Structure 1
């Protein structure tokens, strides 16, 4: 007898429906075809033990299973439940015509209990698109899959529940989640707050500008100046994620199996990979491609601490994703694209010893040592960082203050207002949402300068020996400063402030 059941394979961040055809005929043998990997080939042992322990059996006949499309490689152990239900239906141990109306996925233990799978949200989205009645998944994945409206999502603990459901012996209740209510309820600030930061008012101002315009930022300063502390608090002042951003972010984390029982992610991600990270771990890839750190930071912050300590080739692979806001991984038989629209926050010491030339410490570096240290970071990468700011140690008077600093909540309100201005400004552009994404054409349109501002920028570039690449960056940052001031035009004081934030472009910055 031939039976068709349905599973799903995740490639990139999207799912593809897999038709599992099970045919049982006279003879002996178990034949699994359709490019399954080793984990799927081993499933027969798990299925046999799980069915035996639940008073069912693997038929002693010729079992042929085809996973279509047969030219698409399938991987992982998530097809155990799909195959088991197909075998039971084909051998008439389950009497039901409903098995073909559901996407069925789950990894089975030897006692029949189910283990969580990856990519449940992508699977549920595809099931709804293709008109399936519902999806049956391990109970641990039910919250993330139930985010999809108008689809019955059933969470089960054991294969026996699924068998009884199809035979009408047990009623399963679909999990329902009010996505909008869940989104609003879980929208809260991270544990880190700018109110905890003593002093550093100019750096906080920089972080506010970076958050308001989506600008990449690099913090340069000695150990203990507060670079990491400031970077960790940046997500707390970013605008709340929209529903679309929350779904995109949840989808990526679901593919890597990081959701667990969290459901919809409502806080912007903050990723801080170690400086020993490889290129693949940063941008994604591998034999079976997975999203890297830059995709896991999508709609959030990627923090690279001690930037010069990263291998140069690792940093260079970020150049294209920073520009295109997506990363494409090409293989011989397929190509996968992961979204990677993130804010880059980097920190570094000014020298190997950690201090500036004019520091009073005994570990002060020479100008040559500082130049050698800085040269580890390429010009094209620095070109994609809009704001460079020097972080100096906090004096004792500021550290000992008992007065609370401005909270993240207050800063966030100003940032959100500025972002709303940008959303309205760029509403007719599909790929531009905030100032950092402006092209040269848009800069000319929205950053027009009066004669005074133009003369100031010209004088600054000549006297400070600013590089040509700093020109566009200064205009983008000045546009954001104007938005924070709720100013329609960019004026000279906006330009003057933006010029301060290009430390590394100034000739002679190293001393």
Structure 2
């Protein structure tokens, strides 16, 4: 046989498109040519594969070798094609039987010694392999991650010789199984936070309805401490959601934290591309890394306004579309935003004597970094005031995250039974049906709309928060108290007062 056909997977955003690797040996001067739009790392496979084959005690064919990677218009990047190319050469040169090769796809980088090295993107590749009805052969370090794909057949090896031994019918490759880590670090507990009952209540509301949240107040009041407790209040990830989170971590080469919601906290010097993603070869940004979890922006007003405004679309749609001249990529970005900021450039409230050194214009410029449309997309604005010193030294019994999470999960189950999604994701007819108001409640909300100058988007956000409050209290319909508390959680007047 002078022609061998094997299968591998490329990486395009969250997808793993099939790549058919054809290896042909022909007469002529010895050469090793690769076609099919390979990028630099793929072209360098020629040297890695040659050394790996020779150091594995096989003969490297002294012939003209042509490797075609189809489809030809799909850019190929990374070193994950090494294993498939090496096996293709061995099959085409009759050093390895072709039996059962077509039942598997291959993913793995080769060291010069023939050792298999891990690479990013094993989980999306395993999912795509399973959908195509084939198994996956990969490195040992990628095997457990790939085994997360439901109904997948994942086999792994540590060396090229182990893989060839399997397909020669000698020693079968072991099948991978994912084993969750047992030494998982516990989530930060709400019981560590003293006082700040209104902020804790806001955290509970945000967790129950997946609402975006902004804390503002002087430094040292516990805004960051509170924000770090939110992941521990959120309901457990469903299997499909956990697989989405693991796939994002896989393509980024990050350690897998199966079943745990991500918590991302980029520095305020991060650029718009760092938050959204991009590059000539599009890669995920922080909003995608926080998918199904929490994106925490500390010192919110220190972010450039243009950077914050790029978050507006993914906050609404739950995904990011990155368009480049050569390709377009979609990344998921259904995150929950939690932000913290000081009310003035000096950090203290405008009526604090320590803020007198700043003029009214300086304070206005500071707050003007947050655009109205961006603030409209944040459901809850909560002040976190300084605590009395006596409370800081007092031993008080605070409610734990487990107790709060029990109420959150109950409210979450009510939402799923009623509409199949979180309240924060409601729109259109489902929003109208879930948030029907009586005549008195509608009059109250209309009056608040005129008095506070709320936009239509903010109006709907108030309704969603009120719906979450009703779910927390086990009420099927919205009542006046729900609307009043929801309006009190939107402290825009106080936030923007200077």
Q: TM-score range by the shorter chain?
A: over 0.9
Aligned with residue 196 of structure 1, among 183, 192, 205: 192
Deviation string, structure 1 residues 25-48 (Cα, Å, up to 9, x no partner) = 111211100000000111111112
Cα distance, 1:362 vs structure 2: 6.2
Q: More displaced, 362-371 or 83-92?
A: 362-371
Q: Distance in 2 between matches of 1:44 and 1:6?
A: 18
Contact preservation (8 Å) 2:237, 2:260: yes
Written as runs of structure 1 = structure 2, the 5 A alignment for 1:300-319 is 300-319=293-312
Deviation string, structure 1 residues 275-333 (Cα, Å, up to 9, x no partner) = 11122221112111111111111111111111121122221111111111111112334
**SS of 2:25 mapped into structure 1:** strand
Written as runs of structure 1 = structure 2, the 5 A alignment for 1:269-348 is 269-348=262-341
Aligned with residue 88 of structure 1, among 82, 90, 94: 90
- Kindly tell me the number of residue pairs found equivalent between the two proteins: 496
Give the equivalent residue in structure 2 for 1:510.
497
Aligned with residue 471 of structure 2, among 455, 473, 483: 483
Give the equivalent residue in structure 2 for 1:243.
239
Contact preservation (8 Å) 1:355, 1:363: no
Q: Distance in 2 between matches of 1:144 and 1:496?
A: 48
Contact preservation (8 Å) 2:190, 2:399: yes
**SS of 1:361 mapped into structure 2:** helix
**SS of 2:246 mapped into structure 1:** helix
Distance 1:187 1:499, change over 3 A: farther
Q: Distance in 1 between matches of 2:262 and 2:495?
A: 37
Give the equivalent residue in structure 1 for 2:216.
220
Mapped pair 1:101 → 2:103: yes
Give the equivalent residue in structure 2 for 1:438.
426
Give the equivalent residue in structure 2 for 1:11.
12
Aligned with residue 114 of structure 1, among 116, 119, 131: 116
Contact preservation (8 Å) 1:356, 1:364: no
Q: More displaced, 243-252 or 458-467?
A: 458-467
Distance 1:295 1:508, change over 3 A: closer
Q: Distance in 1 between matches of 2:281 and 2:352?
A: 49
Deviation string, structure 1 residues 68-108 (Cα, Å, up to 9, x no partner) = 11111100111111111111111112134222221111111
Structure 2 alignment gaps of length 5 or more: none
Distance 1:10 1:335, change over 3 A: same
Cα distance, 1:164 vs structure 2: 1.4
Give the equivalent residue in structure 1 for 2:37.
35
Cα distance, 1:455 vs structure 2: 3.5
**SS of 1:11 mapped into structure 2:** coil
Give the equivalent residue in structure 1 for 2:252.
256
Q: TM-score with structure 2 length normalisation?
A: 0.95
Cα distance, 1:465 vs structure 2: 5.2
Give the equivalent residue in structure 2 for 1:55.
57
Cα distance, 1:168 vs structure 2: 2.0
Contact preservation (8 Å) 1:187, 1:240: no
Q: Distance in 1 between matches of 2:347 and 2:416?
A: 40
Distance 1:32 1:137, change over 3 A: same
Cα distance, 1:176 vs structure 2: 3.1
Contact preservation (8 Å) 2:367, 2:496: no
Deviation string, structure 1 residues 328-382 (Cα, Å, up to 9, x no partner) = 1123343211111111111111111111112243676443322110101111111
Written as runs of structure 1 = structure 2, the 5 A alignment for 1:383-462 is 383-427=376-420, 433-462=421-450
Distance 1:17 1:26, change over 3 A: same
Deviation string, structure 1 residues 453-480 (Cα, Å, up to 9, x no partner) = 3343344445555555532222211111
Written as runs of structure 1 = structure 2, the 5 A alignment for 1:84-163 is 84-132=86-134, 134-163=135-164
Give the equivalent residue in structure 2 for 1:21.
22
Q: Distance in 2 between matches of 1:366 and 1:464?
A: 25
Q: Distance in 2 between matches of 1:71 and 1:471?
A: 48
Q: Distance in 2 between matches of 1:281 and 1:165?
A: 43
Q: Distance in 1 between matches of 2:494 and 2:297?
A: 25
**SS of 2:96 mapped into structure 1:** coil
Q: Distance in 2 between matches of 1:219 and 1:508?
A: 10
Q: TM-score with structure 1 length normalisation?
A: 0.93
Written as runs of structure 1 = structure 2, the 5 A alignment for 1:492-503 is 492-503=480-491
Cα distance, 1:8 vs structure 2: 0.6
Q: Distance in 2 between matches of 1:31 and 1:458?
A: 71
Contact preservation (8 Å) 1:355, 1:365: no
Contact preservation (8 Å) 1:470, 1:502: no
Q: Distance in 1 between matches of 2:148 and 2:451?
A: 56
**SS of 1:13 mapped into structure 2:** coil
Deviation string, structure 1 residues 234-266 (Cα, Å, up to 9, x no partner) = 00000111111111111111111113xx4x620
